[in-house]
Amino acid sequence: MFFVYGTAGRTFSGTLESFMPLSGVVKARNARKSGNGLLEADGSIHETTRESETPRIEHDRFAQAAKAYDKTHRRENKRTPVCHAYQVMSHDVLTLRPTDTVGAAWQQLAERKVHQAPVLGPTKEVVGLVTDRDLLMVANLEGNLLTGLLNRPISALMVTPVACSAPVTDVRRIARVMLATGLSAVPIVDDGGQLLGIVSRGDILRAIVNDPPLSLWI
């Protein structure tokens, strides 16, 4: 199951097949930015970056849901095992706020040694995704020195709306969404849009290395 979240909340919920025809989302680099680039200030939005308080994932509960998922997506000549998002996703996720500045976001990404971070709204729902490539649209990196429009809020640069996924989703389908959108990661959310984790290209590669039977055919 896939979702699309932006500053207006959830705008899509459905299967991969119904997601693929969406315009403005499948080509993530062309997805609309947030209004004029400045999100309306809200007293509950703070200017400091913080890690999300990701809820603990109950592996057995998702495993049972995965079995039910498989029954609804059976194909001829199906290859096993099937690996789902909750099995490979990163739980300790760096998150940013729309009001965080380019400079602060870059520092957080560099310290955590990650290339992207979900952007959360005032109630911790996913509203976008920002990458180091997005930040370099208005900043210049010379050695270890970052210069440019460092005080600009990331709401002007983040990808929004952004494709998200349910925890019980075939990793192969998430990989297909990455290829279609150009995203380097897909946030994993619950039914209310609250962040549970994130699946990046690196997570998928680690799964392949650590679990050779993982099948990524589409």
Query: What's the per-residue H, E or C state across 47-83?
Result: CCCEECCCCCCCHHHHHHHHHHHHHCCCCCCCCCCCC
Q: Return the residue matching tokens 């299967």.
A: 15
Helix (H) or strand (E) holding 191: none
Encoding tokens for residue 189?
């959310």
Helix (H) or strand (E) holding 24: none
* Residue 50 · residue 72 · CB < 8 Å: no
How many structural domains compose the chain? 1
Q: Is residue 39 in some structural domain?
A: no
CATH number at residue 165: 3.10.580.10
Range of the domain at 144: 2-34+59-72+80-210
Per-residue pLDDT of the chain (218 residues; tens, 9 = 90+): 899 999 889 999 999 989 988 877 876 544 444 444 433 333 333 333 334 444 454 677 777 777 776 666 555 445 446 589 999 999 999 999 999 999 999 999 999 999 999 999 999 999 999 999 999 999 888 877 888 889 999 999 999 999 999 999 999 899 999 999 999 999 999 998 999 999 999 998 888 777 555 555 44
Q: Is residue 93 in some structural domain?
A: yes
What dihedral do alpha carbons 59, 60, 66, 71 form, nearest 10°?
170
Select from 110, 94, 108 the least CA-distant residue to 51: 94
Count the residues in the chain: 218
Which distant-in-sequence residues (6+ apart) come within 8 Å of 82 by Cβ? 66, 70, 170, 171, 172, 215
Task: State how far the Cα of 130 lies from the Cα of 95, in Å rounded to an integer.
Answer: 9
